[in-house]
Amino acid sequence: MVAEGSKLHLGCGPVVVDGWVNVDGSWSAWIGKHRTIGKVGSKLGLIPKSLTREFYPPGILIHDLRKPLTFARDNSCSMIYTSHVLEHLEYA
């Protein structure tokens, strides 16, 4: 759950900003959070090495931005920052 008054960094990639809720839904972020699965999958040829190269620090909320975020009671936040994300979302 995202706390009331949070600052959201949507589509953060490997850039984690202190004091913000850093959100990324990419496969790279997921694999970065589950490094052992990434390493095994890469060695077996199931996961491309390109997905395991970038370092994703801990503390990233893995979330698909096409789905609603879970907020505090009032469904609000104090700020939203996003860069190079909206072009990845389809209109439909």
Summarised one tens digit per residue, pLDDT across range 15-51 is: 889 999 999 988 888 888 877 887 788 788 887 877 7
SS3 (DSSP) at 22:
strand
The 10s digit of each residue's pLDDT in 52-84 is: 667 788 788 999 988 888 766 677 788 999 998
Q: Do 73 and 3 meet the contact criterion of CB atoms below 8 Å apart?
A: no
Angle at 60 between CA 5 and CA 24, to 5 degrees: 90
pTM: 0.77
